[in-house]
């Protein structure tokens, strides 16, 4: 798709809770579940910059507006804010080829429709959305994409799928694992096996190639393009909470974030930050305690950080 026009898309408008205009754009009028985005408009022109905020797995774009005030605050600060759902839908793995291709199509649509070329671009996401954001940044710099991010952040995102595979394989064999956790582990294992063409012992090269970060890849292949990029990695490693929930802490994404931050710093990146929070994770609307949540990020703090990056 090289040319875009709003007449090709069905548009739905409503007013955001803080009075901002919010719009849903469907790139395919026959599909209301994928290939779409929500845009939150700044109160006035010109736009200072623009940002993609990518939901977690099985989160709809509207869910982000419920879980965090980040989109609204970003728009208030002059950032045209986009919450996408890619062609691969809400079960997307984020880093996969099809999702990244859809990312490029949607990005071209947005930059053309809103005349954003030349403005700073920020990208961030929660959980698998953060996986998607990190992978896009790596590919953008490695392949010299026309639109490269000025800053990237991820919220408790899985990055090392070799680690994830081994941890979940252990979980389904572990005594007294809950039915829900075993079901989730089996689902992810099946998806991972399909995406990487087998287990790590069968196709380790693909795990190192496709994962946004791999602890066991001592060549640092995936993260080399990020050596000069401002990056924030947010995580809330509440060990006792996870233990009380009956979850093996080795499954948590804090491991990936700490290891990746350490390696990027040792490679010379002076703009990577590991943001560790305490007791910030609560899910709306009921404010249920959960450290794996959008709420561990303070909207004002991360937006002001983005705006400082050039």
Report, as an integer, the average pLDDT of 227-234.
Answer: 98
Report the phi/psi class of residue 246: left, alpha or beta, with left for phi > 0 and alpha for psi in -120 to 50.
left
Q: Does the pLDDT at position 156 exceed 90?
A: yes
In DSSP notation, 205-247 reads HHHHHHSS--TT-TT-TTTGGGTTS-EEEEE---HHHHHHTT-
Q: Which pTM value belongs to this model?
A: 0.92
Q: Crossing angle of helices 161-173/200-210, nearest 10°?
A: 140
CA gyration radius, the chain? 19
Lowest mean pLDDT among 121-130, 227-236, 250-259: 250-259
d(CA 122, CA 305): 11
Work out the pLDDT band at 19, boundaries 50, 70, 90.
Answer: low
Q: Does the pLDDT at position 42 exceed 80?
A: yes
pLDDT tens-digit map of 55-81: 999 999 999 999 999 999 999 999 999
Q: Are 80 and 114 in contact (CB under 8 A)?
A: yes
Work out the pLDDT band at 85, boundaries 50, 70, 90.
Answer: very high
In DSSP notation, 75-135 reads HHTTEEEEEEE-TT-TT--SSSHHHHHHHHHHHHHHHHHTT-TTSEEEEEEETHHHHHHHH
- Domains of the chain in sequence order: 6-159+217-308 (3.40.50.1820), 161-210 (no CATH)
- Furthest-apart CA pair in the chain: how many Å? 58
Report, as an integer, the average pLDDT of 238-250.
Answer: 88
* Helices and strands per DSSP (H, E), number in the chain: 10, 11
Q: Does the pLDDT at position 15 exceed 60?
A: no
As given in the structure block, the two tokens for residue 294 are: 């959008």
């Amino acid at each position: 798709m090289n040319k875009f026009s709003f007449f090709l898309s069905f548009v739905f408008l409503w007013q955001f809770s803080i009075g901002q205009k919010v719009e849903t754009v469907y790139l395919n009028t026959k599909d209301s579940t994928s290939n779409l985005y929500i845009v939150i408009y700044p109160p006035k022109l010109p736009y200072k910059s623009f940002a993609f905020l990518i939901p977690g797995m099985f989160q709809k774009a509207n869910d982000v507006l419920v879980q965090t005030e980040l989109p609204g605050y970003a728009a208030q600060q002059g950032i045209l804010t986009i919450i996408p759902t890619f062609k691969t839908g809400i079960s997307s793995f984020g880093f996969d080829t099809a999702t990244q291709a859809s990312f490029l199509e949607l990005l071209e649509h947005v930059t053309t429709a809103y005349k954003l070329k030349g403005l700073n671009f920020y990208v961030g996401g929660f959980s698998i959305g953060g996986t998607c954001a990190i992978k896009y940044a790596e590919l953008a710099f490695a392949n010299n994409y026309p639109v490269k991010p000025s800053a990237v952040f991820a919220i408790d995102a899985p990055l090392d799928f070799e680690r994830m595979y081994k941890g979940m394989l252990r979980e389904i064999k572990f005594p007294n694992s809950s039915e829900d956790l075993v079901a989730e582990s089996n689902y992810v294992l099946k998806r991972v096996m399909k995406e990487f063409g087998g287990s790590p012992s069968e196709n380790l090269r693909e795990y190192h190639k496709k994962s946004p970060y791999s602890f066991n890849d001592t060549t640092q292949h995936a993260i080399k393009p990020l050596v000069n990029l401002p990056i924030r990695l947010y995580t809330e490693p509440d060990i006792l909470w996870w233990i009380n929930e009956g979850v093996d802490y080795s499954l948590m994404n804090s491991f990936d974030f700490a290891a990746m931050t350490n390696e990027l710093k040792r490679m010379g990146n002076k703009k990577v930050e590991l943001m560790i929070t305490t007791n910030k994770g609560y899910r709306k609307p009921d404010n249920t305690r959960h450290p794996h949540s959008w709420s561990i990020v303070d909207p004002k703090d991360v937006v002001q950080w983005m705006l400082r990056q050039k």
